[in-house]
Amino acid sequence: MNVTFPGESADYRAARQRLLEREIQLRREMEAVAVQRRELPPGGLAPEDYVFQGVGADGSAADVRLSELFAPGKSALAIYSFMFPRDPHDDRPGAPGGQTSQLPLAQQPCPSCVAFLDQLEGMVEHSGQHLAFAVVAKAPLERVVAFAAERGWRHLRLLSSAGSTYNRDYLAETPQGDQRPMLNVFQREGDTIRHFWGSELFYAPTDEGQDTRHVGTLEPLWNLFDLTREGRPDWDEQLRY
């Protein structure tokens, strides 16, 4: 199929065709990486059946174990570590209103994490047909639930990890207690839970001008910017605009 768009020049079509060839190669490489990921040997056993706090059926706080986060009949579980509280050096404006705005800025959530979760909020109803997804934050459960209501999140499963070592064990917390935005995937076989994959690209060296992009393939926002002539702006997400 020969593709052309109205008014394009021969120079544009030739350059676009060269770019298309690279896009095809990128698609192949992305699939090759996915295959290599699926072929990883068994990961490490979860050191314990971590206990988180979530919202129970009656609306009150209830303990939820790692093993209970897997959906019935599903063997995969993805957990995103939400930086709530934010990085201590993050001075972006805080929440515009609600209970969250009453917290000191250092105790408020990371705007970039919030933007990422805004994007996933619309996805999890669909992804839940094949895997379980949960969001854990070090903040107390009541703060997490209050912010979710303020943000309008309805589909994300939100938990507090305040009473466990999960964040520290799975690279979502520094030795100083600062939170980090890790995504970890676990696999269950019978009663055995193993770590399958983590977004450790976050800790890998970056090329000049790049950010970590450790969850880059999941971020529609930044991938959308890549489709423009201007590219990714020198900009950070905000809790309000």
pLDDT digits (tens, 9 = 90+) for 164-204: 999 999 999 999 999 999 999 999 999 999 999 999 999 99
pLDDT tens string 27-66: 999 999 999 999 999 999 999 999 999 999 899 999 999 9
Domain ranges of the chain: 1-39, 51-201
pLDDT tens string 121-156: 999 999 999 999 999 999 999 999 999 999 999 999
CATH superfamily of 51-201: Glutaredoxin (3.40.30.10)
CB–CB of 145/60 below 8 Å?
no
pLDDT of residue 44: 98
How far apart are the C-alpha atoms of 188 and 217, rounded to whole Å?
24
pLDDT of residue 209: 83
CB–CB of 72/224 below 8 Å?
no
CB–CB of 103/221 below 8 Å?
no
User: Distance from CA of residue 171 to its chain's centroid?
Assistant: 14
How far apart are the C-alpha atoms of 130 and 113, rounded to whole Å?
24
